[in-house]
Structure 1
Amino acid sequence: MSTPATQLVELRTRDADRTQQEILAAAMTEFSERGLGGARIDSIAERAGVNKRLIYYYFGAKDDLFLAVLEQTYADIRSAEQALHLETANPVEAVRSLVAFTWSHYLEHPEFLTLLNSENLHRARHLKQSQRIREMNSPLIQTLGDVLERGRRDGVFRGGVDAVQLYISIAALAYFYLSNNHTLSTIFGRDLMSPKALSERLSHITEVVMGYVLRD
C-alpha cells in the first residue's frame, strides 16, 4: 500500500510527464509550421499553456527541443509499425503491409514530412547527436531483412535485396509524392491529393516495390 508521500511523488511524476507531452505536441506543431529557424519558444509555451521556463527546464535550448520532437516522431512511427507484426506475417503480405502503412502514416502525419524537410536543411545535425534514433531504426531494418530472407527461402523473393535500400525506396516513393504535391499538381495539371489519385498512388507504389522483390 502506497504512502501519502509516495502518492504525491507519483502525482507529480504524472503531471511532469503530461506537461512534457503537451510541450512536445505544441513544439511539433510550431516546428512543422515555421521550421526550426522560424519557431519561437514563446509561441510554443503559449500553444502548450505553460511558462516558457518549464520548456527550458525539461528540454533545454530550442535545438534540444527540436531534437526531442524529431525523436518523438520517429518513436511514433516505429511504435505503430510494431502493430504490423512483420516478423510473423507471410513475407509477401509483410512487404505489402509495410508499403501501405508507410504511405498512410505519411499521409496522416504531414508534420513528419515537414520536420524531416527542416532537419535536412540543417544536414541532420540534430539527428547525428541522437543515439536513440539509431536504436529505434535498427530493429525495423533487422525485421525487414528477416522478412526478405524468409521470402527468399520460400522461393517468392529474389535474393540480394538490401533491407536499407528497400526501405529507403518505400519511404521515398511516398515521401516525394506528398512533400511535392503542390508543385507536381501544378506542373501536371492534376489534383494529386484527390481520393482517386491517392488510391492510384498507393497501388503504383505497391506494384513497383513488389515487382522489385518478387522472383520472375
Structure 2
Amino acid sequence: MSDPSSAALAAKPTSKADAPKRTRNSAKTKASILAAARVEFADRGFEGARVDAIAERAGANKRLLYHYFGNKEDLYRAVLLDAYQEIRRGELALSLDQYDPAQAMDRLVRFTFRHFLANPWFPRLLGTENIENARFLKTLPNIEALHSPLVGQIAAIIERGNRAGIFRRDVDPVQLYISVAALGFFYVSNTATLSVIFKRDLASVAMVHEREAHAVQMVLDYLKTKPVG
C-alpha cells in the first residue's frame, strides 16, 4: 500500500521548479510580442496598427499582451525603446577604442549602414515616429542618456584622429553621426524609387557594396579634409 503523504508530495509542484519555467515562458512571450509589434507598427504606422493583429502574429493571448505591455501606446513605446537599445548595443559591441581612428570610423559607418540594411523595419519605424512628431520618443525615460555614450564615442575618435594628425578638429560629433546615419537611412528607405529613377537595381549585392564603400569614403574624406580658413 502506497504512502498517501508521499503521493501528495509527488503530485504537488514545487515553486523552485516552476519559477524558471514561468520566467522563460514570460521572456519568450514578451520577445514574440515585441517582434510582432515591430512589424505591425513599421508596416501600418501607429494609427493603422492593430493590437489584435500583433497578438495573432505573435501567437500570444491578447490579454497577456495587455498584461505585459499595457495599452497600444505603451507597446509602441516599448518597441521604439527596444529599437534604439538594439542599435546602441551593436555600436557598443564594435569596441571602437581598440582601433585606430580611421579604422574605428570605417567600422562605425559600415555597421550603421548594415544595420539599416538588415533591419528595413527600423527606418520605417523611425518614419512613423517622425510623422507623430516624436511625441512618443519625448516620453521615453533617459532617451538622451541612451545616446550620449555614442556621441562621446565619436568625439573620442575625432580627438584621437586629430592628435594623430589625420582628422580635422572642427567636427561636431552629433552632426557627424547624423550624416553617417543619413547615408544608410536614405539609401535603404528609398531603394525602390531610386532604382526606378536611375534604372539600377540598388538592392543588388554589387550596388549595396558599392554604396557602403562610397559612404565610408565620404565620411573619411570629410574628416581628413583641412578646414577652410
Task: Return the index of the structure with the highest Cα Rg.
Answer: 2
Any idea what SS the aligned residue of 2:96 has? Answer: coil
Residue 10 of structure 1 and its aligned partner are, at CA, apart by 3.1
Residue 196 of structure 1 and its aligned partner are, at CA, apart by 1.8
Residues 82-122 of structure 1: CA deviation (Å, up to 9, x unaligned): 22101222111000000011111111100111101111100
Distance 1:198 1:64, change over 3 A: same
Q: 1:126 aligns with which of 130, 136, 139?
A: 136
Match of 2:191 in 1: 181
- Distance in 2, matches of 1:10 and 1:147, equals 43
Match of 1:43 in 2: 53
Contact persistence 1:86–1:94 (CA under 8 A)? yes
Residue 215 of structure 1 and its aligned partner are, at CA, apart by 4.4
Match of 2:115 in 1: 105
What stretches of structure 1 move > 3 A for 4+ residues in a row?
A: none
Residue 194 of structure 1 and its aligned partner are, at CA, apart by 1.6
Question: 1:60-139 alignment to 2 at 5 Å?
Answer: 60-139=70-149
Higher deviation after alignment, 133-142 or 170-179 = 133-142
- Structure 1's unaligned 5+ residue stretches are none
Identity of aligned residues (%): 48
Any idea what SS the aligned residue of 1:131 has? Answer: coil
Higher deviation after alignment, 148-157 or 163-172 = 148-157
Contact persistence 1:148–1:157 (CA under 8 A)? yes
Any idea what SS the aligned residue of 2:47 has? Answer: helix
Any idea what SS the aligned residue of 2:135 has? Answer: coil
Residue 133 of structure 1 and its aligned partner are, at CA, apart by 2.7
Match of 2:22 in 1: 12
Instruction: Kindly tell me the number of residue pairs found equivalent between the two proteins.
Output: 214
Contact persistence 1:155–1:215 (CA under 8 A)? no
Contact persistence 1:84–1:97 (CA under 8 A)? yes
Contact persistence 1:152–1:158 (CA under 8 A)? yes
- Could you tell me which amino acid in structure 1 is paired with residue 111 of structure 2? F
Question: 1:23-62 alignment to 2 at 5 Å?
Answer: 23-62=33-72
Residues 39-90 of structure 1: CA deviation (Å, up to 9, x unaligned): 1100111111111111111111111111111111111111111221012221
- Structure 2's unaligned 5+ residue stretches are 1-13
Higher deviation after alignment, 87-96 or 132-141 = 132-141
Any idea what SS the aligned residue of 1:210 has? Answer: helix
Match of 1:209 in 2: 219
Match of 1:161 in 2: 171
Match of 1:198 in 2: 208
- TM-score in terms of structure 2 length: 0.89
- Distance in 2, matches of 1:9 and 1:172, equals 45
Residue 142 of structure 1 and its aligned partner are, at CA, apart by 0.8
Any idea what SS the aligned residue of 2:97 has? Answer: coil
